[in-house]
């Protein structure tokens, strides 16, 4: 007897629901961290798209259950981003979508999947709806929608929808829903996440009210927002068979040569022609008629062809040396005065764009040293990818390897464990080479590793100057301390020994050692 297996088609939403573990929703504590993270990242993206300094407010309120264990919480996140047109709100939040375009640019999330995952998780753990309020600004109305996701059908169920006039021209989005969370366990990670976000997004105001009503405010240090990334077509080195197959289905191009030119960056008439000769596929072939074998052959040829120009970095949006320094200074509490008087150091370096496997990337690095940095963990490492802080699995990250194994810090006058030092590494790419689906640490791709190494070395040169100067100053101070300690005693003892009454004035001597510096006899 055979058991007839029942095959069922599952929706995208259902798929994510069943695989919520890989999206970072493994437990109530991890889930609340992931929820906050995904929503904040969506909000930041929504602001940066239109070049607006973000004002993010979020609140986690305790609703039911123990305060020190898993319970029900309300999450509310507000931003001043681009906003969502009222008509699009239901599908934007209530439907897990695949994008139909294959354009690339650096963003934090991918198609907003994480945000939807957060809503899904909230819905299945609390059986309640989500409330979304948004406006695209100016005189456009404010739309308020209450919805649930029909998981099996992958579509929104709108429970309530109404519009208000927008007298104050408000623009942005507010999202609020209930979810199961273990805030007490997630607290330290959430705070760390926000603090580090404030470093890498120094132009954002972030306000957070925690379940006990405590207010955390991270104020922006600048209103400059980095240039938004431009969308680009994929680079031929960075696509796979599935992607190319879909692109072929959608194209209107009549010939393969035209298809390449229109759908890929860095391919013109000549390159397309040379490449197709190399691939051994007819230029005039109709894209839609390519056989699966042809497609595999085409994609393999793309991977191996070496004469394509490098990927276009205009789809990247790095922070820049100035903004990175601003973020580091404000969150570490380093003042410009302390930098001027030589007690603190902040140095940032942005490398030129580079590529790996068809994807452009840029590495930015910051080094900071001042006495407020803890030396307990030797060198303090902060990792960021596409303006997102990476908080887990530090020791598996390529930056950790570079900082701890490859740099000989003695060359920069750093004594790990003694010299206070924080290293900030920011990798921007249209595709961050994460090692695992958890997206918490970056793989040691040689190209990326090389760039990080060189960036730290470059920034290290200034650090070395700073530390040498400090060493010199400290030595000078120790020297003066010796004079200040002992000269008065010399005066005192000699007076007593000589049976004199009045101690001679040692101030001129003290003054001269300060004035003439390190000049010494024998």
Least Å distance, CB 516 to other proteins, is: 10
Q: Which C-beta is closer to other proteins: that of 164 or that of 477?
A: 477
Least Å distance, CB 473 to other proteins, is: 15
For residues 255 and 272, the answer to whether their CB atoms sit within 8 Å is no
For residues 170 and 135, the answer to whether their CB atoms sit within 8 Å is yes
Q: Which C-beta is closer to other proteins: that of 9 or that of 521?
A: 521
Residue range at the interface with other proteins (CB under 8 A); choices 37-45, 121-129, 402-410, 504-512: 504-512
Nearest to 220 by CA among 210, 236, 206: 206
Residue range at the interface with other proteins (CB under 8 A); choices 37-45, 132-140, 452-460, 501-509: 501-509
Least Å distance, CB 492 to other proteins, is: 9
Dist. CA 219–CA 231, nearest whole Å: 30
The structure tokens 């640490």 sit at: 441
Q: Which C-beta is closer to other proteins: that of 227 or that of 496?
A: 496
- Strands 215-218 and 155-164 turn out to be unpaired
Handedness of CA 406, 410, 415, 420 (dihedral sign): negative
Q: Which C-beta is closer to other proteins: that of 446 or that of 508?
A: 508
The structure tokens 């309300």 sit at: 74
Least Å distance, CB 474 to other proteins, is: 14
Binding other proteins (rule: CB under 8 A), the pick from 165, 168, 505, 515 is 505
Interface positions, 353-412, toward other proteins (CB under 8 A): none
- Binding-site size for other proteins (CB under 8 A) equals 25
Binding other proteins (rule: CB under 8 A), the pick from 508, 514, 515, 517 is 508
* CA-to-CA dists, residue 121 to 185, 358, 371, angstroms: 18, 35, 43
- Strands 215-218 and 142-150 turn out to be unpaired
Least Å distance, CB 486 to other proteins, is: 4
Dist. CA 491–CA 484, nearest whole Å: 12
Residue range at the interface with other proteins (CB under 8 A); choices 120-128, 258-266, 325-333, 503-511: 503-511
**309 binds other proteins, rule: CB under 8 A:** no
Tokens of 88: 């699009």
- The CA-CA-CA angle for residues 401, 407, 413, to 5°, reads 140
Tokens of 243: 């992607």
Q: Half-sphere exposure (CA, 13 Å, Cβ side) for 82?
A: 12
Residue 443, classed as helix, strand or coil, is: coil
Q: Is 464 exposed, middle or buried, given 0-12, 13-18 or 19+ CB atoms closer than 10 A?
A: middle
Interface positions, 413-442, toward other proteins (CB under 8 A): none
Binding other proteins (rule: CB under 8 A), the pick from 103, 509, 514, 517 is 509
Residue 412: φ, ψ to 5°: -110, 15
Q: Which C-beta is closer to other proteins: that of 111 or that of 486?
A: 486
Longest dimension (CA), the chain: 119
Q: Which C-beta is closer to other proteins: that of 284 or that of 477?
A: 477
The 10 Å Cβ neighbour count of residue 503 is 14
Q: Which string of x and - marks every residue 471-500 that binds other proteins (by CB under 8 A)?
A: --------x--xx--xx-xxx-xxxxxxxx
**111 binds other proteins, rule: CB under 8 A:** no
Q: Which C-beta is closer to other proteins: that of 216 or that of 483?
A: 483
Least Å distance, CB 348 to other proteins, is: 38
- Strands 71-79 and 55-64 turn out to be antiparallel
Least Å distance, CB 501 to other proteins, is: 11
Q: Which C-beta is closer to other proteins: that of 376 or that of 521?
A: 521
Q: Which C-beta is closer to other proteins: that of 124 or that of 513?
A: 513
Dist. CA 139–CA 146, nearest whole Å: 22
Beta partners for 424? 366, 382
Q: Which C-beta is closer to other proteins: that of 157 or that of 482?
A: 482
Least Å distance, CB 510 to other proteins, is: 11
Residue 316 neighbours by CB under 8 Å, 6+ apart: 106, 229, 353, 360, 361, 362, 428, 429, 430
- Provide the binding-site residues for other proteins, judged by CB under 8 A: 479, 482-483, 486-487, 489-491, 493-500, 504-506, 508-509, 513, 520-522
């Amino acid at each position: 007897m055979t058991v007839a297996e029942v095959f069922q088609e599952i929706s995208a939403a259902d798929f994510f629901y069943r695989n919520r573990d890989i999206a970072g929703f493994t437990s109530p504590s991890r889930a609340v961290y992931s929820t906050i993270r995904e929503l904040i990242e969506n909000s930041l993206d929504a602001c940066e798209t239109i070049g607006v300094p973000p004002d993010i407010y979020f609140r986690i309120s305790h609703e039911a259950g123990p305060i020190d264990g898993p319970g029900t919480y309300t999450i509310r996140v507000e931003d001043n981003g681009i906003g969502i047109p009222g008509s699009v709100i239901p599908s934007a939040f209530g439907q897990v979508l695949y994008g139909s375009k294959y354009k690339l640019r650096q963003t934090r999330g991918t198609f907003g999947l994480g945000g939807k995952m957060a809503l899904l998780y909230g819905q299945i753990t609390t059986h309640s709806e989500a409330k979304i309020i948004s406006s695209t600004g100016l005189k456009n109305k404010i739309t308020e929608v209450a919805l649930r996701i029909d998981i099996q059908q992958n579509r929104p169920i709108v429970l309530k929808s109404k519009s208000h006039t927008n007298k104050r021209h408000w623009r942005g989005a507010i999202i609020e829903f209930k979810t199961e969370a273990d805030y007490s366990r997630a607290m330290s990670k959430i705070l760390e996440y926000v603090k580090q976000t404030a470093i890498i997004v120094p132009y954002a105001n972030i306000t957070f009210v925690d379940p006990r009503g405590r207010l955390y405010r991270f104020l922006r240090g600048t209103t400059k927002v980095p240039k938004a990334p431009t969308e680009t077509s994929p680079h031929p080195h960075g696509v796979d068979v599935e992607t190319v197959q879909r692109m072929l289905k959608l194209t209107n191009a009549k010939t393969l040569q035209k298809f390449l030119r229109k759908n890929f960056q860095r391919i013109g008439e000549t390159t397309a022609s040379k490449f197709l000769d190399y691939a051994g596929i007819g230029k005039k072939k109709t894209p839609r008629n390519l056989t699966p074998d042809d497609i595999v052959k085409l994609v393999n040829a793309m991977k191996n062809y070496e004469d394509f120009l490098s990927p276009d970095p205009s789809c990247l949006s790095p922070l820049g040396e100035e903004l990175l320094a601003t973020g580091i200074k404000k969150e570490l509490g380093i003042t410009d005065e302390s930098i001027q008087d030589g007690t603190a150091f902040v140095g940032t370096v942005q490398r030129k764009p580079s590529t790996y496997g068809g994807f452009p990337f840029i590495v930015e690095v910051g080094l900071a040293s001042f006495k407020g940095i803890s030396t307990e963990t030797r060198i303090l490492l902060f990792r960021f990818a596409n303006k997102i802080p990476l908080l887990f699995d530090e020791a598996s990250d390529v930056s950790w390897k570079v900082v701890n194994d490859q740099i000989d810090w003695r060359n920069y006058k750093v004594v790990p464990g003694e010299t206070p030092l924080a290293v900030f590494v920011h990798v921007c790419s249209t595709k961050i080479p994460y090692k695992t689906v958890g997206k918490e640490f970056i793989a040691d791709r040689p190209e990326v590793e090389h760039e990080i190494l060189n960036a730290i070395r470059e920034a290290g040169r200034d650090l070395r100057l700073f530390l040498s100067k400090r060493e010199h100053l400290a030595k000078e101070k120790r020297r003066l301390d010796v004079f200040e300690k002992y000269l008065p005693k010399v005066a005192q003892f000699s007076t007593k020994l000589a049976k004199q009454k009045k101690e001679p004035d040692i101030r001129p001597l003290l003054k001269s050692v300060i004035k003439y510096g390190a000049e010494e006899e024998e």
